[in-house]
Structures are given as structure tokens and as C-alpha cells.
């Protein structure tokens, strides 16, 4: 089956009128593009149509709708911050990959927080001792316990608080207070040269936000209670620490170590034969490849083992690398340490978490979904 369908095909499969099809496209439920053979026509992504067809077959029962929405399905809340459309990641309407060419994380923070040219004073964080991940959690936990809730705060004070939380998290990663651009502070702490610092900058921009992922949704739930920004970020960090989210880079590293021992062809064949997914490759939201990975990998030469793995897996599966593979390759190239991908993720995504926390708080609504009970019949 073709990856793209005509309007007639879509309307026949879904039983739609033309105006309904156009409404689905405008809501981001079906991706559309110009027909290369006829610029007057448009084509529609088949996988999006298939998902809607599946929902229609299941019926409009609330339980079925809710399940599909949570599992990579229809949007469950409105946001002006980030979207994934036409295979690209957009921060308030701007292409994240293009921004990564020159922007700093501070620029992206101002964009996502929608605070214009607000300037943030340099701050000083008392950084505890211990491994970087332990320092991050300790600093945020202390702030979450002591910072004031968002209620009653002006926008200016919330922006200053946001900058303070981000600065504290970066200091915790670096292991000491610092000034200057965030990427430069982290690069200096990791012993990177100017080229390495620029790669860190690109990675931070590309990771700043990713719409309503698991950690961001957790942040919005916390923000809906009116909790402090530090508490919201702490929630996001906790979700990020899970092996299926920010911990995915460790699984990529395990795959590469296994490939080093046994050979990448043998490892891939064994995993495919067992029906085991390959960490670091493919992404449900990017059928044509993760643009964040493409933008980052284009900026440096991956280590030979990673380049070989990328070629082999593409040949055997057709899957392109995602951001977890690119981050692991970057950390290996710059000799940053095993936990560096998580630390980069945390520093960058803190900006997005704060943006979503601020947006959710402004709605004044508590996020309180219902569970579909499947236990024993109540007596």
C-alpha cells in the first residue's frame, strides 16, 4: 500500500465529506502534502488515515477514545508551544532543526516561555557533592520543598523563577555555579573544545521540547494543581528517569556494546528474529525519520561503530536513527560519559517543562482524568 492517499481514497475509507477532511488536516489529525505529479492536488498520509479508520471501527465509546488518545493518538489538550507536523518539530511555529543552527538554549527558553527579550540576572546555586544525576535530583528536591506555589505570582516573577530553576539545574549538572551561555558552561565542565561546545548547543536546542510526551504530561498534571515550578520540573525529571523515556540512551549504549562483542549484523538479526525492537531507531511520530537526529548527526562524524550500525540497521529494517541514537553517538564522540545523554536531556527539556507548566497554570484547570475500572464487581 502506498504511504500517501488521494482525497477520494481518504473520503471513501473514512466516509468523510470534503469539508470534514480539510478540518482533520487543519487539526493535525491527517498530514497532507502536495502531489508531486499534480500541484493542484494533495495527498494524505496513509498511516494517519489508518489510525482514524481503526478508531472508527472501534466505535465512539469514551473508553476506546481515551485509550487511543493516550497511546500516540489524538491530542488531549490544547497548547501553543510545540507541534509535530509534516515530519518536523516546530517551536511556536519555528522549525527546531533550523533554530539549532545558531540559537542558544536561552533563546529557546524565551521563545517557549513567550517572555520576549526578558533578561535574567546571573544566579548562584549551592551545589551538593555526588554524581551529576544525584546532584540534579537533590537541588530540585530542595527547591520543590521550599519554593512558593505559582498562585498569586506575577508573570515577571514567574519568569525570574523559571530562569532560577533552569540555572540551578544546569549548575547541578556542571557541578559548580557558573555564568555565560548554558552550553558553554556544560562544555567547560565536560572538558569540550569549541567544536564540542557547539555540538552541545545544537543538542540542547533540539531537545528543548517535544510536545506532550510522558514527562511533559506529568509536568502539566503537577502544574494543574498550582504547585511551584521547581515541583513541576521535579515531576518531569522523575518521569524522564524511566528506561522508556530519558533512559533510552542507556539501552542504545547496551546495544552498541553487544554489537562490539558479537558484530552488529548478528545482533540485529537476533533481535529481529526474537521480535525485539532496536533502541535508537524509528519513532512513531516520525515515519520518515526523526528530524532531530538528522540535524544532530549532520553536524559531526559519528564514531565508526555508530556509523556502521546506522548503515546496517537501515539496510536490514529501513529504520532511521532517532534522537536517542544521535545523543549516544555524540556522547561517545565527545567522551562525555554514560550519563551525559540524560543530563543533556534534563537541561534542555527543563525549558519545555517550564513552558508547559506556565501554560497549564494559566488555564486554571485541574487535570483529573477517570480510570476505567476492570476489577472485581463491587459488593
Q: Is the pLDDT score of 197 beyond 70? A: yes
Q: Is the pLDDT score of 275 beyond 70? A: yes
Architecture in CATH for domain 4-76: Orthogonal Bundle (1.10)
Nearest of 333, 79, 92, 325 to residue 208 by alpha carbon: 92
Order of all β-strands in the sheet with 32-35? 4-6, 38-45, 32-35
- Lowest mean pLDDT across 2-16, 176-190, 350-364: 2-16
Instruction: Say which residue, 35 or 347, is predicted with more confidence.
Output: 347
Mean pLDDT, the chain, whole residue set: 90
- Lowest mean pLDDT across 62-66, 81-85, 360-364: 62-66
Given 48, 245, 290, 356, the catalytic residue? 245
Average pLDDT (200-214) is: 97
Q: Where are the beta strands (DSSP E) in the chain?
A: 4-6, 32-35, 38-45, 82-85, 88-91, 94-95
Per-residue pLDDT tens for 296-311? 999 999 999 999 999 9
Per-residue pLDDT tens for 245-268? 999 999 999 999 999 999 999 999
Q: Is the pLDDT score of 360 beyond 60? A: yes
Given 167, 210, 324, 356, the catalytic residue? 324
Q: What's the pLDDT score for residue 350?
A: 98
Given 183, 210, 283, 356, the catalytic residue? 283
Average pLDDT (346-354) is: 98
Q: What's the pLDDT score for residue 144?
A: 93
In whole angstroms, what is the distance from residue 170 CA to residue 106 CA? 12
Q: Is the pLDDT score of 131 beyond 70? A: yes
Question: Do residues 259 and 372 make contact, with C-beta atoms less than 8 angstroms apart?
Answer: no
Residue-range domain boundaries for the chain: 4-76, 93-369
Q: What's the pLDDT score for residue 45?
A: 87
> Can you give 97-127 as a three-state secondary structure string?
HHHCCCCCHHHHHHHHHCCCCCCCCCCCCCC
Say whether 245 is catalytic. Answer: yes
Q: What's the pLDDT score for residue 60?
A: 53
Tell me the CA distances in angstroms from 340 to 84, 204, 324, 335, 337, one per residue in order: 26, 12, 12, 9, 6
Query: Rounded to a whole number, what is the distance in angstroms from the first to the last CA of the chain?
Result: 51
Residue 212: helix, strand or coil by DSSP?
Answer: coil
To the nearest whole percent, how much of the chain has pLDDT over 90?
64
Average pLDDT (124-153) is: 91
Per-residue pLDDT tens for 51-74? 788 767 665 555 555 555 555 555
Per-residue pLDDT tens for 289-344? 999 999 999 999 999 999 999 999 999 888 999 999 999 999 999 999 999 999 99
Average pLDDT (24-33) is: 78
Residue 204, phi then psi, degrees to nearest 5? -60, -45
Architecture in CATH for domain 93-369: Orthogonal Bundle (1.10)
Residue 89, phi then psi, degrees to nearest 5? -105, 130
Q: What angle do CA 12, 18, 19 make, to 5 degrees?
A: 140
Sign of the C-alpha dihedral, residues 201, 210, 34, 298?
Answer: positive
Q: What's the pLDDT score for residue 58?
A: 60
Amino acid at each position: 500500500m502506498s504511504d500517501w492517499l488521494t482525497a477520494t481514497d481518504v473520503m471513501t475509507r473514512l466516509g468523510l465529506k470534503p469539508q470534514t477532511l480539510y478540518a482533520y488536516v487543519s487539526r493535525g489529525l491527517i498530514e497532507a502534502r502536495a502531489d508531486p505529479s499534480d500541484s493542484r492536488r494533495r495527498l494524505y498520509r496513509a498511516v494517519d488515515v489508518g489510525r482514524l479508520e481503526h478508531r472508527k471501527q472501534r466505535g465512539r465509546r469514551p473508553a476506546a477514545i481515551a485509550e487511543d488518545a493516550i497511546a500516540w493518538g489524538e491530542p488531549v489538550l490544547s497548547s501553543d508551544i510545540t507541534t509535530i507536523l509534516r515530519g518536523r518539530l516546530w517551536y511556536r511555529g519555528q522549525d527546531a532543526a533550523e533554530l539549532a543552527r545558531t540559537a542558544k538554549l536561552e533563546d529557546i527558553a524565551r521563545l517557549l516561555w513567550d517572555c520576549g527579550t526578558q533578561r535574567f540576572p546571573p544566579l548562584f546555586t549551592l551545589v551538593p557533592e555526588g554524581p551529576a544525576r544525584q546532584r540534579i535530583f537533590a537541588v530540585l528536591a530542595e527547591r520543590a520543598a521550599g519554593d512558593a506555589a505559582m498562585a498569586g505570582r506575577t508573570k515577571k516573577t514567574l519568569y525570574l523563577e523559571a530562569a532560577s530553576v533552569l540555572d540551578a539545574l544546569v549548575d547541578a549538572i556542571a557541578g559548580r555555579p557558573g555564568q555565560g551561555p548554558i552550553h558553554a558552561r556544560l562544555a567547560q565542565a565536560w572538558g569540550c573544545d569549541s567544536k564540542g561546545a557547539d555540538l552541545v548547543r545544537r543538542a540542547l536546542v533540539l531537545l528543548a521540547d517535544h510536545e506532550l510526551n510522558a514527562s511533559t504530561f506529568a509536568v502539566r498534571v503537577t502544574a494543574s494543581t498550582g504547585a511551584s515550578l521547581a515541583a513541576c520540573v521535579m515531576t518531569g525529571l522523575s518521569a524522564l528517569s524511566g528506561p522508556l523515556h530519558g533512559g533510552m540512551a542507556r539501552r542504545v549504549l547496551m546495544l552498541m556494546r553487544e554489537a562490539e562483542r558479537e558484530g552488529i549484523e548478528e545482533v540485529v538479526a537476533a533481535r529481529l528474529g526474537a521480535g525485539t525492537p532496536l533502541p535508537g531507531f524509528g519513532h512513531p511520530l516520525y515515519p520518515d525519520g526523526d528530524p532531530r537526529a538528522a540535524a544532530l548527526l549532520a553536524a559531526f562524524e559519528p564514531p565508526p561503530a555508530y556509523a556502521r550500525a546506522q548503515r546496517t540497521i537501515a539496510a536490514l529494517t529501513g529504520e532511521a536513527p532517532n534522537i536517542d541514537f544521535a545523543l549516544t553517538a555524540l556522547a561517545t564522540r565527545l567522551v562525555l560519559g554514560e550519563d551525559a545523554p540524560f543530563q543533556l536531556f534534563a537541561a534542555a527539556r527543563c525549558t519545555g517543562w517550564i513552558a508547559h507548566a506556565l501554560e497549564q497554570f494559566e488555564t486554571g484547570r485541574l487535570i483529573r482524568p477517570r480510570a476505567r475500572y476492570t476489577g472485581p464487581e463491587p459488593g
